A and B are shown apart, each in its own frame.
Chain A
Amino acid sequence: MAKKSFRQALNEALHLEMARDPRVIMMGEDLTGGAGAKGVQDAWGGAFGVTKGLLDAFGPERIRDTPISEAAFVGAAAGAALTGMRPIAEIMFVDFAGVCLDQIMNQAAKFRFMFGGRAKTPLVIRATYGAGSRSGSQHTQALYPIFTHIPGLKVVIPSNPYDAKGLLLQAIRDDDPVIFLEHKMLYDTVGEVPDGSYTIPFGEARVVRDGKDVMIVAIGRMVGVAEEAARQLASEGISACIVDPRTTSPLDEDTLLEVAEKIGRVVIVDEANPRCSVATDISALLADKCFDALKAPIKLVTAPHAPVPYAPNLEDAYIPTPEAVSKVVKSIVKR
């Protein structure tokens, strides 16, 4: 199988699905870059290069560079989804959801329910998330808890190139609104990715690695952090299992419960802020449903309750590290 970057995997998914289904259109800021200018066209191919080449393949009617106007184009994407298209709206940084949350939270998410089940909103909102790029507090957040909280939305957070492609293809074919979050520090990571189309169902966690002493739950970029921690722990004789839920809504409760019951020790690693988060949500789930199987308190390794800082030393300290994960694991694994 060919090795491809996370970015390339996403780009392939977009190419494949747009070629397969003429109802798929894209809108967002600088999806191509250079629109209306005299110089190079498709100059950027998206702020992170994910949409490069789509303009050539599908033209400006289907690849629509928008004004910097999230409320308008996310709302238009919702309206187009309601009326027969399958739009993909790109919010360059998920932080910008602040200016269009109404269209996501009050509109797209609720159409089907409010309209008595007589509407379909096959909308994908792609956005980058996550810290590590030295970009300060407004381009770096991990806001999936906000979206996970809202009934009517599905929330997808791929951790590797293979999943990124399969989950994006599923998202575009899905008939409900999907928030698809791409960690900007993962775009250059490489993995094996098949050339053709394949989908990964939502609500199916991946057991990244088997182990018997502790279950580490991690999503998005934190899966790699957990893997590094597991390697460190293995050298010290501790065997860590890693579970990546892949989607936080729907959440694969069955796999989380099954593995937690088998192992009895749980550490949840989450780049998001800790209050009302996916980490606390999974922790509550396990405490409620498999308390008797637990051999130690459930431990969380998260960002602090603070905005993402700019100074490199502070930002590095903000993001959970393999060392921090290892330390917490060792605190609950009796040897």
Chain B
Amino acid sequence: MSALQLPHDKLIEVYRTMRTIRRFEERVMDEMATGDIPGNTHLYAGQEASAVGVCLHLGEEDFISSTHRGHGHCIAKGVDIGSMMAELFGKASGTCGGKGGSMHIADLRKGMLGANGIVAAGAPITCGAALSAKLQGTKQVAVAFAGDGAMNEGVMSESFNLAKIWNLPIIFAIEDNGFGEATANEHVSAGSFTRRAESYDIPAIEVDGTDVFAVYTAAGEAVERARTGGGPTMLQIHVPRYYGHYSGDPDNYRTPEEKAAMRQERDCLVNFRQRVKDVSLLDAGELDAVDQMVEAEIDRAVAAARAAPFPPLSALTTDVYVKYL
């Protein structure tokens, strides 16, 4: 099914989720400036269509793993933004009780196996989740999100191999934003990512990650393949990274001109609005209303996170084990 033929409420959901991710990240950047969010965060703004286009095919029971740049994946998989915002502020009401932080948000009830501070580490873990699904015959699928930087970690290649020889129901969603931290991908990556996957006989496809409909279509084939026992797929999703590597990154290794052009020409929200307008599917008023709703929701999330208490000091040593002594 072509994505543009999505029912009205699905189209609204796609837009709302992308908008929520964008505004969540922009707001986090603002809140970082106040000094009240500890540490640093890696912002997903610009890449929204990737997480949303993929996760639209997934149910709550399906698995995803994420990266250090994980807020978008969490939101697209249905993790509550109030608890996420509280987690970023390090509060007891956070998704992980304030003990994980931005890089370790996980919500197993939503099939979200964790953001990850270690590049490519989610890939083999997601293979394990896919193996669980396969052995239990549940028809769940698993998606390992990773960046272009992760492609040069050995464990990524190992995971491709394992996924193929075990015919696992998994999708490797490689979000290629052109940079591993502050280094351009072309400076550090040999060959082609899709050919790497294809050398394991894993079908691979490149997608424009500013076009949520293109992502949705490509991911649909991949998820269908996984769910019907066809094994792994690799998606190379080309996305812009609006901010630097992390929130405190001056990002001066990219020129002001190229950053301006990136935002001007590669914006999945603008693209979406244009596409649905072209075929008169949704009117601008409807989308503006969504924007306002999202704004209010994020305001509430920030206010609640600010008001929430930090975890009690006793939490320092709890949850290390299920049972120790």
Question: Residues of A at under 8 Å CB distance from B?
Answer: 25, 61-62, 64, 66-67, 69, 71-85, 87, 102-103, 106-107, 110-120, 151-152, 154, 174-176, 203, 250
Q: When A76-B131, A80-B128, A115-B104 are in contact, do A71 and B158 touch as well, CB less than 8 Å?
A: yes
Interface residue? B106 (CB, 8 A) = yes
- Decide: B162 and A84 in contact? CB cutoff 8 A: no
B104 to chain A, nearest CB (A): 4
**Using a CB-CB cutoff of 8 Å, which residues 140-175 of chain B contact chain A?**
154-155, 158-159, 161-162, 165-166
Residues of B within 8 A of A (CB): 63, 65, 94-100, 104, 106-109, 113-114, 116-118, 121, 123-133, 135-136, 154-155, 158-159, 161-162, 165-166, 318-325
Contacts A72-B124, A79-B113 known; 15 new A-B pairs at CB < 8 A? A61-B135, A69-B158, A71-B154, A74-B124, A79-B125, A79-B131, A80-B129, A80-B132, A82-B125, A85-B132, A85-B136, A106-B117, A113-B319, A115-B114, A203-B325
In the bound complex, CA of A74 to CA of B123 (Å):
12
Tell me the nearest residue of chain B to A254, going by C-beta: B325
* 8 Å CB contact of B106 from A69, A75, A115, A152: A115
The smallest C-beta distance from B262 to any residue of chain A, in angstroms, reads 32
Are B100 and A112 within 8 A (Cβ)?
Answer: no
Residues of B within 8 A of A72 (CB): 124, 127, 155, 158-159, 161-162
Q: Verify A116–B322 contact, CB threshold 8 A.
A: no
**Residue among B97, B104, B162 facing the most chain A CB atoms (10 A cut-off):** B162
Give complex CA distance A74, B127 in Å: 10
Contacts of A79 in B (CB 8 A): 65, 113, 124-132
29 CB-based A-B contacts, threshold 8 Å: A71-B154, A72-B159, A75-B125, A75-B128, A76-B125, A76-B128, A79-B125, A79-B132, A82-B129, A83-B63, A83-B113, A83-B132, A83-B133, A85-B128, A102-B155, A103-B121, A103-B124, A106-B117, A106-B121, A107-B118, A112-B320, A112-B321, A116-B94, A116-B95, A116-B99, A119-B106, A120-B322, A175-B323, A176-B324
Give the distance to chain B from A203, nearest Cβ to Cβ, in Å.
5
Q: Determine if B108 and A119 form an interchain contact, defined as CB atoms under 8 angstroms apart.
A: yes
Pair B121/A111 contact, Cβ less than 8 Å: no
User: Which residues of B lie under 8 Å from residue A174 when comparing CB positions?
Assistant: 322
CB-based nearest A residue for B112: A115
4 tightest A-B CB contacts, nearest first: A79-B128, A75-B124, A117-B319, A116-B97
Q: Is B161's CB under 8 angstroms from A67's CB?
A: yes
- Tell which of A66, A75, A115, A152 touches B321, judged by Cβ atoms closer than 8 Å: A152
For A83, what are the chain B residues with a Cβ–Cβ distance below 8 Å? 63, 113, 128-129, 132-133
| Min CB–CB distance A301 → chain B (angstroms) | 28
**Given known contacts A79-B132, A114-B106, is B125 in contact with A152 (CB within 8 Å)?**
no
Which of A82, A110, A114, A119 contacts B128, CB < 8 Å? A82
With contacts A106-B117, A116-B94 known, is A176 near B323, CB below 8 A? yes
CA distance A79 to B133 in the complex (A): 11
Q: Which residues of A contact B108 (CB under 8 A)?
A: 82, 115, 118-119
Whether B161 lies near A69 (C-beta < 8 A) is yes
Cα A76 to Cα B124 in complex, Å, equals 5
Q: Tell whether, in the assembled complex, residue B131 and residue A69 are in contact, meaning their CB atoms are under 8 Å apart.
A: no
Residues of B within 8 A of A102 (CB): 118, 121, 155
List B contacts of A250 (CB < 8 A): 324-325
Assess A113 versus B99: contact at CB under 8 Å? Given A72-B124, A77-B128, A107-B125: yes
In the assembled complex, which residues on chain A have CB atoms less than 8 Å from the CB atom of B95?
Answer: 116
A49 smallest CB distance to B (angstroms): 25
- CB pair B132 A116 closer than 8 Å: no
Provide the bound-state CA to CA distance between A225 and B258, in Å: 69
Note all chain B residues with C-beta closer than 8 A to A64. Answer: 166
- Complex Cα gap A116–B86 (Å): 13
Residue of B63, B106, B127, B158 near A118 (CB, 8 A) is B106
Contact partner, B96, options A75, A116, A175, Cβ 8 Å: A116
Chain B nearest CB: distance from A23 CB in Å?
A: 9
Minimum CB distance partner of A175 in chain B: B322
Indicate if the CB atoms of A76 and B162 lie closer than 8 Å: yes
**Inter-chain contacts of A87 with B (CB < 8 A):** 128
In Å, the complex CA distance between A107 and B115 comes to 11
Contact B322 A112 (CB under 8 A): yes
Given contacts A106-B117, A114-B104, A116-B100, contact A85 B158 (CB under 8 A): no
Q: Which residues of A contact B117 (CB under 8 A)?
A: 106
